[in-house]
Chain A
Amino acid sequence: MIHKTSPEIGGMGHSIKRKEDLRFIQGKGNYVDDVNLPGMVYGQLVRSPYAHARLKSVNTEKAKKLPGVLAVITGEDLAKANLAWMPTLAYDKQMVLATGKVLFQSQEVAFVVAEDRYTAADAAELVEVEYEELPVLVDPHKALEPDAPLLREDREQKNNHIFHWEVGDRQATEQVFQKAPVKASVHAFFPRCHPAPLETCGCVADFSRATERLTVYMTSQAPHAHRTVFALVGGIPENNIRVISPDIGGGFGNKVPVYPGYVCAIVASLTLGVPVKWIETRSENLQSTGFARDYHMTAEIAADRDGKMQALRVKTLADHGAFNAAAQPTKFPAGLFSICTGSYDYPAAFCEVDGVYTNKAPGGIAYRCSFRVTEAAYLIERVVDVLALDLKMDPAELRCKNFIPASKFPYKSSLGWTYDSGNYEAAMKVALDKIGYQRLRKEQEEKRKKGELMGIGLSSFTEIVGAGPAHSFDILGIKMFDSCEIRIHPTGKAMARMGTKSQGQGHETTYAQIVAQELGIPAADVTIEEGDTDTAPYGLGTYASRSTPTSGAATAIAARKIRDKAKKIAAYLLECNEADLEWEPGKFYVKGTPSKAKTIQEIAFAAYTNIPPGLEPGLEAVDYYDPPNLTFPFGTYVCVVDIDKGTGEVKVRRFVAVDDCGNIINPMIVEGQIHGGLTEGLAIAFMQQIDYDESGNIQGGSFMDYLLPTAVETPHWETDKTCTPSPHHPFGAKGVGESPNVGSPAAFVNAVVDALSHLGVRHIDMPITPWKVWKVLQEKGVAA
C-alpha cells in the first residue's frame, strides 16, 4: 500500500501534468535537428537501389567536383581504417558502407559531406555506382534451401542460417501431444512493421581537434551504451566521448541500434575537424533502420475435451534481414519470446526459433515491446481462440479455465520464467463487465441470423518487462542494471539524473514523483536530467518498459539512502535518538510529539550549514539497481468490430483495455501511454506492413504505402485497471508503456476472426486490410 502524499508534494498516484509538456507544446523542445553548431556541415548517404548486387565500382569524382562538397566517403575508404564493418548488438557484424556487395535495398553505399544539405543531396545524386545484380532472397522459408543464394559470404558458415534456439522440454511436450484428445494449431505471420517515430534518426558529430574530444548529439535511447560502443569500435578513449541525447521525438526501439549514418558522421567529423550533421529522411528511416517482428510462427495446443490445456508447442522462423542487428539481451537470440505460454498454466511446453538472413533491411528491434513479447502474446492469444473455436467453447470461459490461478504466484512457467504476481481472472472480469460481454454475445447471435457481421475479440496477455537481472541479462557483456543519482541542494530543491532516456514517456514528471514520494520534496522542486553521458550515471537506457522497473527502482532506493542520512541530521537537530524519530513524507518528527519536527528542506540546509560532527557534508546518493527478477504486467483487452460486407472495412465499435501494471506513479501518464500503444496496435493490425516484392523492392518505404493512424481511423479507447503490485520492486510498480502494443493486436484480429468464424474462417494474417477481408467475404459468398 502506497502512502498518498498531498497534492502539493505530488508523489505517487497523482495525475500531475507533465513537466516537459511546457516546452513541447510551445515548440521549444530541443531535438537533434535543432542543434546547430558554428561551422557545421551536412552528410547525406548514397543508398543501394538493389536488394542483392555485386558492387563493381563507386565513382565519386563528379560528386567531389560539385562546389561545396567537402568529402565523399566510400566503403573502401572506411576499410582502410578498419571501419567498413561494425558489430551489432546481436554478436553479428554489419556493413557501415558497402564493400564487395550490397545485401538490401537502401543499404548505405557512400557518405557525401557538403557545406549545406542541398549540396549534399545533389552530390549524392552524382556518385556513380556500378552494380551487378545477384539473385535475391526475400522468402525466409527459402533461405535454408540448398540452392538458395548465399547472402553472407563474409561468414565462415556458408549458409543463411543464423541461429537455432530452443527452450522447454521437447520430449515431455511430444508425449503429451501424442496422447492428447484435442489439438489446435495456427500458423500466424506477424508482418514486418516499423515504429516510424515522429522524429527520424540523426546526429551531430562534433570532434574538436583542440580538445581531442568527440561530442555526439544523437537520437539515442541508450546514450551510455552507445558511448561505450563508439569507444570500443572507434578506439577513442571513453572519457573523450560525450554522447548527448537531447529531446527525442519517439523511439519505440527504433533508436536503440547504432546506424551507419552515425558512424559516417563521426568519421567525417574526425576527418574534417568540424561538426557534421546527418538527419534521415522519412523514407530512409522506414527503409533502412530497425524494423520489428517478421516472425513466421506456428503454435499448437494439446488439450483435453473440456478445454484444459496440457501442452504448448511453438515453432518459429525469424526473418532477420541482411545482418543480425536485432536489439536484444545477448543471451536471448529470440528475445523473451519464451513468454509465449502467456497467462496460462501449461504443464509442458516447448519453443524453438530459427533465425535466417534475407535480402531485407537489418533489425528486429523491440518495437514498443520487451524483446519479442509482442510476437509471443499475439501467437498465444491467437491459438487459444482457435482452440475455443475447435471446442465450440466461449473464448472467455476457455481462458478463465486455464489462467494461472492467483494463488499460484510467484509462478514458475514451464519455459523457465518466474512470474512475480498476477490475478488474471480479476482483470478479465473488469473487462467483461465493462463491455457487457454476455449482452454482446446475444447481439452477435441475433445479427448472425440477419446475416450481419459482428465480432468480439479477447486478449488476456502477460508481459515480461524490466530487463533485467545481471545473472542473465547483458548487452554485449554490459549488465542490464540501471541507475539514479540524486542531489539535494541546500534550499531543499533536488536534481536527479538517470541512466535511462525519455523519448516522450514523461520521465521528467514520473521520476520527480518518485523522489517526491520517497522524500516529500514537491515534484515541482525536483529537476530530472537524462541523456548526457558526462553528467548522468551509467545505465543501459530506455526500452522494453525497463525505466520504471530499473531506474525507477534505483530512484526510490537512492532517495531512501538520502532519507537515512537525513534521519541522522534530524536526530542531531532535534537532539534525540534516530530510533525516536518517525517519518511522514516531507519531515521527521519525534514519536508522540508531532510538533517537534524537521522538514526535509530544513534538514537539507543543515547538511550544508550545520553538519553533525562526524558526518560527511552534503546530501546526495547514487544507486545502481540490479533487479532481482523481471516484472510481469498483464491485462485483458476486449474489442468489438462490425464488418461492412460491401467494402470489407472493419470498424472498431468499442475497445476496452484493462491493464494491471502494479502500483501507478501517474495515472494520467499511464492512460496516455495506453491510448498511444492501442493506436499503434490498431495500425499494426489493420494498416501497416514493410513488404518486399520478389526483387527485394521495398513496398512500404514511404507514408504513401506505410500508413499511420490518424484521429479519423482511431476509435474511442475505454481504459480501466486492476492493481497487483510487484512483490520485488521497491514500490510495487511493473511498467506499462508497452502493454497496449503487446496486448492489442490479438484482440483486433480475434474480433475480426470471431465475426467470420461461423463462415469457417480460423485465421487472417495482419494487416487486415479491407481488401483482404473483402476477398474472404467473396470466397465465402457473403460479400454484399
Chain B
Amino acid sequence: MALKIEKTFEVQEPIDKVWDVLSDPRKVATCVPGAQITEQVDEKTYKGAIRVKVGPSVTDYTGEVQIIRLDAQNHEIEILGKGQDVRGRGSASMKMTGKLRALPNGGTEVTSVSEINVVGILAQMGSRVITEVSNIMFGEFVKNFQARLQRPSDGLVQQNATAEVAPIKATSLAWEATKGLFRKKPENGS
C-alpha cells in the first residue's frame, strides 16, 4: 500500500540550526516516535529500528536508512528507509524529501514529502487508518523536532545511541486514528 504525505511546518529557529538537525539521520531519528538509530554503517548509511503499534498490532521494523541526496547549498535532503518486521509481519519503506526555506522573520519553513509503502498486517488497516497514523506520528515528530532544536546541540548523538526505544502509545494512537476517521471524509472512497 503506497501513500504520499506532504507536510509543511514552521520553526522559530534559523535555517542553519535546523539544517544541522535535519541533515543528520541520527538526530532526526530521535524525533521520530518509536525510532532509533542503532549503528552507522558508513557515511551515508545507518541501521535503525522503529516500533509501530496500532491497536493490537505491534510491528517492529528493523532496517537501513540511507541518505541518497544531501544538498547543503539548497538545504535539501533525500532519505530512503527500508525495514522488515522482526517477526515477519511485513515490511515498510519510506522515501522522504526534506527541504528548508529561511523565513523573513528569522524562522525556517520545513517542507517534507514522504512516499510510504507498507506491506503486511499493518497495510490491511487500509489507507484511512495508515494515513491517520502517519498524521499523528508526524504531529509527534514536529513537536519533538521543535523541542530538539531548543536543546543544545552537543551530546545529542551520544544520548541517542543509548536511548531506549519509546514506542508510540498504542491506545492513544488507535483512538486518535479512530477519531480522525469520523472527523473528516476519507480522501478516497475506494
Contacts and interface: CB of A to CB of B under 8 A. Distances in A.
The yes or no verdict on A and B being binding partners is yes
B57 to A, nearest CB: 10
Nearest to A124: B87
Contacts of A702: 124
Contact of A695 (B1, B125, B189): B1
A443 interface: no
B108 to A, nearest CB: 36
A283 B124 CA distance: 10
Contact of A131 (B88, B117, B123, B126): B88
B189 A772 contact: yes
B88 A695 contact: no
A769 interface: yes
Interface string A282-325: 01000100000000000000000000000000000000000000
A50 B189 contact: no
Interface string A759-778: 00000000001111010000
B36 interface: no
Interface string A127-149: 11111010000000000000000
Contacts of B88: 49, 127-131
A93 B95 CA distance: 40
B172 to A, nearest CB: 19
A50 B119 contact: yes
Contacts of B189: 769-772, 774
Given A49-B90, A50-B90, A695 B190 contact: no
A610 interface: no
A699 B89 contact: no
Interface string A189-220: 00000000000000000000000000000000
B86 A695 contact: no
Interface in A725-784: 769-772, 774
Contacts of A699: 1, 124, 126, 190
B30 interface: no
B91 interface: yes
Contacts of A130: 88
A698 B120 contact: no
A697 B1 contact: yes
Interface in B32-80: none
A282 to B, nearest CB: 12
B2 A694 contact: yes
A154 interface: no
B89 A49 contact: yes
A133 B91 contact: yes
Contacts of B126: 699, 704-705
Contacts of A770: 189
B188 interface: yes
B85 interface: yes
Contact of A128 (B2, B86, B121, B124): B86
Contact of A697 (B87, B123, B188): B123
Contacts of B190: 691, 699, 771
Contacts, number: 66
Interface in B113-162: 117-121, 123-126
A701 interface: yes
A693 B1 contact: yes
Contact of A698 (B2, B85, B87, B124): B124
Interface in A660-708: 691, 693-699, 701-702, 704-705
A49 B85 contact: yes
B123 A693 contact: yes
A704 B85 CA distance: 24
B119 A695 contact: yes
A8 B188 CA distance: 59
Contacts of A283: 124
A769 to B, nearest CB: 6
A740 B162 CA distance: 64
B120 A697 contact: yes
Contacts of A34: none
Contacts of A704: 125-126
Contacts of B120: 49-50, 105, 697
B82 to A, nearest CB: 10
Contacts of B89: 49
Residue with the highest number of chain B CB atoms closer than 10 Å, among A49, A128, A696, A699: A49
Contact of A49 (B2, B119, B125): B119
A49 B121 contact: yes
Nearest to B186: A771
A584 interface: no
A578 B118 CA distance: 79
Interface in B80-120: 84-91, 117-120
Nearest to A130: B88
A699 B87 CA distance: 22
Contacts of A580: none
B119 A697 contact: yes
Interface in A22-55: 49-51
Interface of B: 1-2, 84-91, 117-121, 123-126, 188-190
Which 4 A-B pairs rank lowest in CB-CB distance, beginning with the nearest?
A771-B189, A49-B120, A129-B88, A697-B123
Given A131-B84, A704-B126, 14 more contacts: A49-B88, A49-B90, A50-B90, A105-B120, A128-B86, A128-B87, A287-B124, A691-B190, A695-B119, A698-B124, A699-B1, A701-B124, A770-B189, A772-B189
17 contacts: A49-B120, A50-B120, A51-B119, A129-B87, A131-B88, A283-B124, A693-B2, A695-B1, A697-B1, A697-B123, A697-B124, A698-B124, A699-B190, A701-B124, A702-B124, A704-B126, A772-B189
